[in-house]
Amino acid sequence: MRRITLGLFVLMGTLATAACSSPAASTSTSPAPTTGASAPGASTGGGAACASAQAGATAAVTVEIKDFKFAPQPVKAKVGEVIGWTNNDSVPHTASLADGSCTTDQLAGGTTGALVFSVAGTYTYQCNVHPAQMKDYTIEVE
């Protein structure tokens, strides 16, 4: 009985290690912009449309998170510009595409997270910590 139990623990540990190091567990994604009249000519172009900005990147477009709201609305940026969200609330927030394909880390009060878009289009985003209160915001990338 001990041998079976030990074998199960070894198997579970091996599977957990493989899952953590698997490319499928990566946070890299290939989001698609919303479709329809609001995103003319938008396509995924075969690459990721959104990614976290490099550490230390300066935001060309800034968004304030305050009183459980994102401002400005809509966010307007050009392809390749860094968009920075600064949390001025006392609770954590995220800036996350509604389809779940791209997100900032969870931002504590006073911190900033940044994303860069490589494909033009209109993207709907929200706070994943407060999705009922902070949803249906828009990023327009040209």
Distance CA 85, CA 108 (A): 11
In this prediction, residue 26 carries a pLDDT of: 31
Q: Which tokens in the block code for residue 52? A: 């976290």
Running DSSP on this structure, what letter comes out for residue 118?
A: S
What is the pTM for the complete model shown? 0.68
In this prediction, residue 48 carries a pLDDT of: 64
Q: How far apart are the first and last CA of the chain?
A: 64
Which domains, from first to last, does the chain contain? Answer: 27-141 (2.60.40.420)
The residues that bridge with 51 in the sheet, in sequence order, are: 116
Note the pLDDT tens digit of each residue in 84-112: 999 999 999 999 999 999 999 999 999 99
Least confident of 9-13, 106-110, 130-134: 9-13
**Residue where the block lists tokens 């327009």:** 140
**Average pLDDT, stretch 76-80?**
98
